[in-house]
């Protein structure tokens, strides 16, 4: 079964009203190959998050189509979307989507309960690497945005995936932490032969990528 993602002539409403329409994504036929890292660059409001949310089944596809596993994602049922989110794709959300009243550890456990894929030691190593191991037992609501973002990145790795969707994953991180996080993501994607879609505000992203697409 193909692990590629095909984006076919998807054109969101806001894009149709733009005068000088130039995009590598919207209104194009785009084949995202597995095992590659795609950087999607655009200024704010150009639909970077919209694209990831459409792939992840959060946003409805107004026209065109997104083909995942040789199937139109428009035909996905609720159960299919549950499988998509727990087996095929994992995502780091721009707003993190952490449970603020739960501790960082509980947030990680909540995701890990679904698949129990990585070993505990591995998770601990990742937390240590991203320097979040010290505040795992603090409620997420008490953590800084940078700390929350790192927790969200670790959480995204706690499941099997063929694609990792990252929506501005280092927007709240300093350069050093951002590099560490992106290195970890690259390493895990390579290990799992997974593709990666990273949105960024930078026109020339600092992290490693195979393709740069302008939204």
Partner 1 sequence: MRKALQQHISLWQICMVLFASTLGMVCLGLPMMLFKDASQLVQHEHRLFDDAFLVLNKRVTMFNTIGLGSVGFNPQEIDSLSHIKGIQKVGTFDHNAFQIWAEADFGGANVVRTELFLEGVDDEFIDQPPAGWYWSEGQSEVPIMVPTDYLALYNFGFAPGQNLPGISKDLAKQSKFTLYVSGQGKQMQFEGRIAGFSDRIETILAPKSFLQWANQYFASESKQRPKRVIVKANESIALQQEMSARGYETNKEKLQSVRFQQLVRQVMGAAYGLGICMVLLAIGSFILFSNLLITRSRERIQTLFLLGYSRKKLAYLMARKVLIFPIVSLLVALPVAAWLRWNIIQDVRVFIGEVSAWPSASAILGMLCLLAVYLTVAVFDLWRQLTRIERPH
* Residues near partner 1, by CB under 8 A: 54, 56-61, 78-79, 81-83, 85-87, 91, 93, 97, 99, 101-102, 106, 110-111, 113-114, 159
DSSP bridge partners of 8: 29, 65
Relative to beta strand 163-167, strand 195-200 is parallel
> Phi and psi dihedrals of 167, rounded to 5?
-100, 100
Q: In terms of CB distance, is 54 or 189 closer to partner 1?
A: 54
Least Å distance, CB 136 to partner 1, is: 16
CB of 61 or CB of 213, closer to partner 1:
61
Residue placing its CB nearer to partner 1 in the complex, 47 or 205? 47
Distance of closest approach, residue 184 Cβ to partner 1, in angstroms = 20
Min dist CB 106 to partner 1, Å, is: 7
Distance between CA 168 and CA 158 in Å, rounded?
A: 19
CA separation for the pair 198, 33 (Å, rounded): 14
Cα-Cα-Cα-Cα dihedral sign, residues 52, 107, 158, 152:
positive
CB 64 within 8 A of CB 11: yes
Q: Whose Cβ is closer to partner 1: residue 161's or residue 209's?
A: 161
> Least separation, in Å, of the C-beta of 204 and partner 1?
30
Whole-angstrom Cα distance, residue 209 to residue 82?
A: 28
């Amino acid at each position: 079964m193909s692990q590629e993602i095909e984006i076919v002539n998807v054109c969101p409403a806001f894009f149709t009203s733009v005068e000088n329409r130039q995009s590598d994504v919207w209104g194009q036929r785009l084949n995202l190959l597995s095992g590659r890292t795609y950087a999607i660059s655009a200024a704010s409001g150009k639909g970077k998050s919209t694209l990831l949310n459409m792939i992840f089944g959060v946003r409805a596809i107004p026209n065109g189509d997104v083909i995942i596993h040789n199937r139109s994602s428009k035909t996905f049922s609720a159960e299919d979307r549950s499988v998509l989110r727990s087996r095929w794709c994992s995502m780091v959300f721009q707003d993190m989507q952490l449970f603020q009243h739960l501790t960082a550890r509980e947030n990680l456990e909540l995701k890990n309960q679904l698949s129990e894929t990585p070993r505990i030691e591995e998770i601990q190593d990742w937390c240590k690497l991203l320097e979040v191991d010290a505040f795992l037992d603090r409620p997420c609501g008490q953590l800084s945005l940078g700390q929350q973002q790192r927790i969200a990145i670790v959480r995204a790795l706690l499941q099997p995936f063929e694609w990792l969707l990252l929506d501005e994953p280092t927007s709240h991180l300093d350069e050093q932490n951002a590099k560490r996080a992106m290195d970890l993501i690259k390493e895990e994607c390579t290990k799992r032969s997974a593709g990666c879609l990273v949105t960024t505000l930078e026109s020339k992203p600092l992290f490693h990528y195979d393709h740069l697409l302008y939204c």
